[in-house]
Amino acid sequence: MSDEEDIILSELNDEELTQQMHDDLYDGLKEEIEEAVNILLARGWEPYRVLTEALVAGMTIVGHDFRDGILFVPEVLLAANAMKAGMSILKPLLIESGAPRMGKMVIGTVKGDIHDIGKNLVSMMMEGAGFEVVDLGINNPVEAYLDALETEKADILGMSALLTTTMPYMKVVIDTMIEKGIRDDYTVLVGGAPLNEEFGKAIGADSYCRDAAVAVETAKDYMASKHNQLAD
């Protein structure tokens, strides 16, 4: 998607610049993304608009092409790095400007598992979609999840595992939530390479999420239905 000639980002109009940012995210060009975010902010764009129209929209294209086998993990990671750089400029501004909040998620990789690439992508995309994310990192025992859910007053629990040997631990967490009578207080989303929908159902999760984009859409759906229930 790169052009041969040098493009002066500041000379592009808003529409061209947004399009260029989608291309630059696709190509994982971190510095260009940082520059473009600052240009849009200087032009008076609201931070939330920069986030959604430039970064999230661009990363969604990356996600689709990853799902369709056009892009592979290294390219997605480079794109994620570029998006993260843009988000780090926007984050303090989003807090100041009171951007809409969709809900709160506690997320972490399960005990015995140190893999966090997928989890980190989900965290970032959830933040991009307006969720507050409390990331517990890797190798989390059940107590870490339950403590964080309670302390943070979260709406959603996200669990990730990359290994066949560690994914059953998700059931340990859910069973403990059932024992303590708190399972229905939270939406539980699970993901990771060896998982599938059948596994998600078997362990009692609300949903298995194939990728970060699905996680975001699923979380939004659950939050919407929760609000509808409260409104009834």
Contact footprint for another protein (CB under 8 A): 28, 72-75, 77-78, 81, 112-117, 138-139, 163-165, 167, 193-196, 199
Name the minimum Å distance from CB 34 to another protein: 16
Closest-CA residue to 53 (of 20, 93, 7, 6): 20
CB 136 within 8 A of CB 105: no
Pick the closer one to another protein by CB: 56 or 170. 170
Closest to another protein by CB, 44 vs 74, is 74
CB of 202 to another protein, least distance (A): 10
- Name the packing angle between helices 57-67 and 14-26 (round to 10°): 40
What is d(CA 28, CA 75) in angstroms, rounded to the nearest whole number? Answer: 7
Q: CB of 39: closest distance to another protein in angstroms?
A: 25
Q: Which is nearer to another protein, 33 or 39 (CB)?
A: 33
Convert 142-181 to b/e letters by CB count within 10 Å (16 or more is b). Answer: bebbbebbeeeebbbbbbbbbbeebbebbbebbeebeeee
Least distance to another protein, CB of residue 29, Å: 12
Residues 125 and 213: beta-carbon distance below 8 Å: yes
Q: Which is nearer to another protein, 52 or 139 (CB)?
A: 139
Residue (47 or 200) nearer to another protein, CB: 200
Other C-beta atoms lying within 10 Å of the C-beta of residue 69: 7
Q: Min. distance of Cβ 163 from another protein in angstroms?
A: 7
